Amino acid sequence: MNFLSFNKIFFVSLFTLFLFSTINLTAQGEGYSSYELFYQEENGDMQIDIFVSPKKISVGQVIFSIKISDIVLQKPIEDLKVDIYATPFFDYEKLYSPGLSSSDIPGNYQAKFQLERSGKWVFDFIIENEEKSIVISEQINIIDRNRNSSKFGLGFISIQFIFLAGIGYIIYSSKKTKKKISL
């Protein structure tokens, strides 16, 4: 195999690896940009939709997006106080995150949690305005993150292999060239 054909194969395989692996890579290999409807309720004149990301809830960062709208007026409700508490079963330590609203998306409140343990958790969503307080409690089973089979892990192993193969080829070709010069 001559040097020119090896370079072509190497760069084509490297380009293909980056082209296909970066499309599937996301934050922590889990797809945080996609939300799934987790809970939906009509309470009085409020429509409450709670979305969660990632769709497969595992140890690590979990993002809740709470969309609250008026059923009668068909408009988002702003200026609410939204608090979210996460408590693992058989533990008294609560995690807290406020539901922060965005001026870009009225009536949408987001909260982030960094969960460090798997198992069953209870999430309490407390929505308050001047007139009333709504408490929604839901149980979620947080699974362990499988880091070995993610696309990021396979891509990293592939890049290491290509790097080591490149170093091996450089050593091989330098010894071959050294032999030619010494003859």
Note the pLDDT tens digit of each residue in 127-171.
Answer: 998 888 999 999 989 888 765 555 566 777 888 889 899 998 999
pLDDT at position 11 is 65
Residue 85 and residue 9 in one domain: no
Residue 67 and residue 117 in one domain: yes
Furthest-apart CA atoms within the chain: distance in Å:
94
- What's the structural domain count of the chain? 2
pLDDT at position 178 is 86
pLDDT at position 100 is 86
Residue 87 and residue 176 in one domain: no
pLDDT of residue 33 exceeding 80, the answer is no
**Residues whose CB is less than 8 angstroms from the CB of residue 168 and which lie 6 or more positions away in sequence, other chains included:** none
Domain extent for 131: 32-142
At 146, give phi and psi (nearest 5°).
-95, 100
Residue 127 and residue 178 in one domain: no
Q: Which two tokens stand for residue 26?
A: 């996301």
Residue 132 and residue 173 in one domain: no
Q: What is the Cα–Cα distance from 85 to 111, expressed in whole angstroms?
A: 10
pLDDT in tens, 35-52: 889 899 998 889 999 999
Residue 86 and residue 135 in one domain: yes
Average pLDDT, rounded, for the chain: 80
Residue 124 and residue 154 in one domain: no
Residue 57 and residue 138 in one domain: yes
Residue 69 and residue 107 in one domain: yes
